[in-house]
């Protein structure tokens, strides 16, 4: 089992297409382009790569996709547990990759 965590200040992210897949961009649009949503998804991606221990570059951010189930819970893929939370000031994510 591997653990990753990340926290992001709520801020304007530029060049969203560099960080997110089209499915993620559609989800952000459904959430009225909420900065909290953007920061939460970004934190989730960072937490995932920290759990893998591979590091992160702008090129790797789109290699994974944060999806949401029918209840709205975020997920990446099987054998990965993901939780995202935010306030008005910060967003955080915890990711556990099960071996």
Catalytic (active-site) positions: 50, 86
Nearest CA to 5 out of 87, 78, 81 is that of 81
Interaxial angle between packed helices 22-30 and 35-52, expressed in degrees from 0 to 180 and rounded to the nearest 10? 140
Question: What distance in Å separates the CA atoms of residue 12 and residue 55, rounded to the nearest whole number?
Answer: 23
User: In the 8-state DSSP scheme, what is residue 71?
Assistant: T
């Amino acid at each position: 089992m591997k653990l990753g965590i990340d926290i992001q200040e709520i801020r304007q992210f530029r060049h969203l297409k560099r960080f997110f897949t089209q499915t993620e961009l559609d989800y952000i649009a459904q959430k009225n382009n909420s900065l909290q949503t953007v920061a939460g998804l970004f934190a989730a991606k960072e937490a995932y790569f920290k759990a893998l221990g591979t590091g992160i570059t702008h090129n790797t951010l789109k290699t994974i996709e944060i999806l949401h189930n029918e209840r709205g819970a975020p997920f990446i893929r099987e054998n990965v547990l993901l939780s995202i939370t935010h306030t008005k000031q910060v967003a955080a994510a915890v990711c556990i990759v099960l071996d």
